[in-house]
Amino acid sequence: MIGPRKPPSENSAPTSLAPPSFPGRSATTPATRAASPTENHPVSDRSRTHSNVRRAKKDMQKKSLWIGLAFMLANSSQVNAQNAETDNAYKRWYLGTTLYLLGNFVKEHNPEYVQLNAGYRITPKDVVHFRFKRSVYDWPLGTPWRKIFDGTEDTYPGHARILAPTLGYQRFWWTGVYTSVYALNAFEKYFDESRRKIRNGYTLYLDFYLGYQFAFFKDRFFFEPAIGISYWPLRTGVPESFKAVEQKWPNYFIQPGFDFGFNF
């Protein structure tokens, strides 16, 4: 049997009122909420996440940079090794001549032409040439091609015979493209129409060429078509009868080149 409820005494402590609780929600006091700032500041979590992502990207960039440098060094070493092998493997010497020898089959104005070329490659792009030429000519060398082809060229009262040791230099610039210069020392003998010797002479010819070298059979053979100009700044001992014929023509001549040879 339940008796009557006693009234609260004046000395008893007041009962604290707890906030109402709802299903699925915890009753969190302000002190608790203050102690867990992550619940109230989700931006902090995102900032830390972004910071971690940036740090990971920087690490990845550093790794990529080191990998790239290592690859470049390895590739450079391989290229240098290949170049060294190529430089050591190229053929240093060559022998050759020219298609101008075909002119010896012509009966009129037969040049009795002989040319021997030899050379040494200092590097794959730099070549020193040694040449020997022998020929006979009976018209001024400055005569235009059109007069030679139509048969109206002026001829000497006789002919000249030359022996010409030649020194030259050739430089390759890109693939087969090259330029070359030659100093041709022509020691000449002049003869009259009766083939009697008149006198000796000397002419210095400077030849300049721009051409292209075609290589065949693993660089064993080559052919070098070119366009050039021959200029003679020094010419002595020419008989007066010869000077009278050649004085109306210039002291230069534009000519093609048709050298070919064998590398070894």
Structure confidence by residue, pLDDT tens digits, 34-86: 444 444 555 556 556 656 666 666 677 667 767 766 665 555 445 444 444 44
Q: Give the pair of three-digit tokens for residue 141.
A: 């060398």
Q: How far apart are the first and last CA of the chain?
A: 132
- Name 59's Cβ contacts closer than 8 Å, sequence gap at least 6: none
The answer, yes or no, to whether residue 263 has pLDDT greater than 60, is yes
Write out pLDDT tens, residues 172-188.
999 899 999 999 999 99
* Residue 237 backbone dihedrals phi, psi, to 5 degrees: 75, 15
Q: Tell which wins on pLDDT, 141 or 38.
A: 141
The answer, yes or no, to whether residue 30 has pLDDT greater than 50, is no
Q: Report the SS3 class of residue 74.
A: helix
Kindly list the domain boundaries of the chain, sorted by start residue: 55-89, 93-263
* pLDDT recorded at residue 15: 47
Model pTM?
0.65
Q: Give the pair of three-digit tokens for residue 237.
A: 């001992």
Q: Report the SS3 class of residue 51.
A: helix
Mean model confidence pLDDT for the chain: 80
Taking CA atoms, 86 is separated from 79, 89, 93, 124, in Å, by 10, 5, 15, 9
Q: Give the pair of three-digit tokens for residue 163.
A: 């022996």
Contacts 24+ apart (CB under 8 A), 142-147: 142/246, 142/249, 142/250, 142/251, 142/252, 142/253, 143/249, 143/253, 144/249, 145/254
Alpha-carbon dihedral of residues 175, 176, 181, 187, nearest 10 degrees?
150
The answer, yes or no, to whether residue 241 has pLDDT greater than 80, is yes
Q: Which of 94-103, 149-158, 204-213 has the lowest mean pLDDT?
A: 149-158
CATH code for residues 93-263: 2.40.160
